Structure formats: C-alpha cells, structure tokens
Chains A and B, each alone.
Chain A
C-alpha cells in the first residue's frame, strides 16, 4: 500500500512566525505536488517537484524534494493570515496516473 504521511495535521501560529510542513513516504515518487485548499473549494496547485534535492520558491513559500524522492517539505516564512488553509502534499508514482494524498495540514495564522 502506498502511503504518504503528512505532519503536523494541525498548526495554529501567530502572524510573522515561520513554519514547516513535512511529507514522508517509504516509496519513491516520480513527482510530488503541493496544493492549498480553502473550505468548500477544490485544491489549488502550488508547485510540482520532480528532481531529488530540488528546491523551489514561491514568494514566502519554499518547497524541497528529498534527495531520494521519498519526502518533501514546505516552509513558510513570516506567515500571514492569508496563508490560512489546508495544505496537501500529493505524490505520483510512475504508473496509474493517480495522486496519493497526504492527510493534509490545517494551518491557521492569527493576526
């Protein structure tokens, strides 16, 4: 069974703090996506990482793919209330087309 463990599940922080979300698997991914989802809406794609060791930045968000392509992290610098939402990592394996999703991290940033 292909599993993707995401942590922490819940995170409540003050505006201006930094945070890191982790995504781990025992299997190797061909690619990994990070999504953000607001209540009642579909997930919105933030980034795709493909190469082991790859680092991508999106404003205050930094995404890293592990060297072995089994894990990934999302780091947010100086979080703002607008960052509040559900963050999902999703891994794709070579076959099958489907994405395997982590359980998600519910982030709340208080002003």
Chain B
C-alpha cells in the first residue's frame, strides 16, 4: 500500500514569492494535516482538512492557506514568503475524521524542504 506522498521534494524561492506544496494521502484516508518543522522549533501544526473542509488551523498568519480536493489530496499555499518560512513541511493523513473521543493515527509523508532566499 502506498504511503503519503508529497511534491516537490525540494523547493527554492525568494522572499515575497509564493510557494505551492502538494500532498496525496494514503488511499482511503479522508483527513490531511499540515505541519511545519523549522530548525529548533519542532513540529508545529498548521492546518487540518477533512472531507474538503478546513477543520482547524494552527497559530500561523493568513499567508498560509490551503485546500483539499474531492480526491482528498491537498495543497498548501504560502504567500509573500519570508526567510523564516524556510522549513520542512510535512503532510500527514488519517483514516477517519477526528471526531471527539476518537484517536486516528497520523501517517506522515517524506516532506517538502522549502528554502527561502
């Protein structure tokens, strides 16, 4: 069974540009999560999509946005890139919507390394 896939592997942009990162979840998974792993800051939750809707958002500015498509794949867009946006962006998927009281294990992709110059 194929795991979570992400593209591109690496992305180099300059300040002020926009970046688009893509994620395909494990087949059958409907929830997609985005995390940022910046040096020294650990993994920080960005966004959660389920069934095409944004369900939760982390403490990030509106420049970070995304969407989920009918096939459950997802896109993360980062506008007006800043130097501190340089990080590994990780996508994870889980099997069912995160209803209260349930636990749905999240499986991660290999990430997209974004470098902002």
Contact = CB atoms under 8 A, between A and B. Distances in A.
A98 B105 contact: no
A80 interface: no
Interface stretch (B12-20, B64-72, B78-86, B108-116): B108-116
Interface of A: 30-31, 33, 35, 40-45, 48, 50, 88, 90, 92, 94-104
A42 B50 contact: no
Nearest to B46: A98
Nearest to A4: B42
A62 to B, nearest CB: 19
B90 A43 contact: yes
A35 B35 CA distance: 14
A100 B45 contact: yes
A88 B43 CA distance: 9
Contacts, number: 70
A48 B106 CA distance: 10
A97 B90 contact: no
B103 A30 contact: yes
Contacts of B33: 97-99
Nearest to A49: B103
A11 B103 CA distance: 30
Contacts of B111: 40-42
Interface string B82-101: 00000000101010011011
A42 B101 contact: no
Contact of B103 (A31, A40, A42, A44): A31
A97 B108 contact: no
B109 A33 contact: no
A90 B31 CA distance: 17
B58 interface: yes
Nearest to B31: A97
Contacts of B107: 45
A27 B31 CA distance: 25
**Most B CB atoms within 10 A — which of A43, A95, A100?**
A43
B77 interface: no
